[in-house]
Amino acid sequence: MSRVAGRGNGGAFSTFSSLRRFAQEESEKATREAVEAAQERCDLCSETIPPGHRHLLDVSTREMICACRPCSILFDSAAASEGKYRLIPDRHLSFEDFEMDDVQWESLRVPVDMAFFFYSTPAQRVVAFYPSPMGPTESLLKLGAWEELERSNPVLKGMERDVEALLVNRVRGARDHFLVPMDECYGLVGLIRTRWRGLSGGREVWDEIGRFFEELRRRSKMVSRER
C-alpha cells in the first residue's frame, strides 16, 4: 500500500511541476510579447527602433513619424528634402550673445513667455507657435519683426526650413535661445499638454519644464549669433 501511495504522490508532484513549468513558460512568453509590443517601430518598414531614433516630418500635415537608421539615411539628402517627408536634423545650438530685448520680444506678438519659430513651406513664411495645455497654438507674427530679429542674429538665416526652430524661453526671468530640431519643440508641447493642472499648471509641470531646458542646455553647443 505504501509503495502505491508513493507512486501516486510522485505522479501528482510530477504533474504539478509540469503545470508550474508550463505556467512559467506562458508567463515569460506573455512578458516577451508585451515587451515586443511596447517597442517602437519604424513607421516606414516596421522594424523595431531604439529610444534615440530619428524622425521624419510630413511637411504638409506637420505630423512626425519614427524612422529606423536605414530609412532615415534614405531621406538624408538634398534631393529627399524636396519630397513629402523631411528628415529632422539632430543639431542643438544655444547662443551666448543672442540679441533680442524686451521691445523686440513684444513686437513678435507672442502672448506667453515661451515660443518657437520656424519657416513653414506650406505657409511660405516664418510662423510662431507657443506650447499650451491645448497643444501647439499659433501666434500671429509680424514678418517685419522677424526680419529685424534675423538681421540682428544672422545665424537664424541658416535655420533649416520646416524641421528646425528657434526656441525661446523667457519664463520666470530666463533668457534662453536655442536652435533645435522640431521634435524637441513637439516634446515640450507634449510635456506641457500632459502635465498641466489647473489654471497655473501646478508645481510638477514647472519642475519638468525646468528639467527640460537644463537637459537642452547640456546637449547644446554654444555658438555666436553671427555664425
| Residue pair 72/85 in contact by the 8 Å Cβ criterion | no
Number of continuous H segments (helices) and E segments (strands) in the chain = 6, 10
Overall pTM > 0.85: no
| Residue pair 65/58 in contact by the 8 Å Cβ criterion | yes
| Cell numbers standing for residue 56 | 521624419
pLDDT digits (tens, 9 = 90+) for 86-107: 999 999 999 999 999 999 999 9
**pLDDT tens per residue across all 227 residues of the chain:** 444 444 455 555 555 565 556 556 665 555 554 444 457 899 989 899 888 899 999 999 999 999 998 888 888 765 455 678 899 999 999 999 999 999 999 999 999 999 999 999 999 999 999 999 999 999 989 889 999 999 999 999 999 999 999 999 999 999 999 999 999 999 999 999 999 999 899 999 999 999 999 999 999 999 998 87
Residues with Cβ < 8 Å from 146, sequence gap 6 or more? 108, 117, 126
- 3-state secondary structure labels for all residues of 15-48: HHHHHHHHHHHHHHHHHHHHHHHHCCECCCCCCE
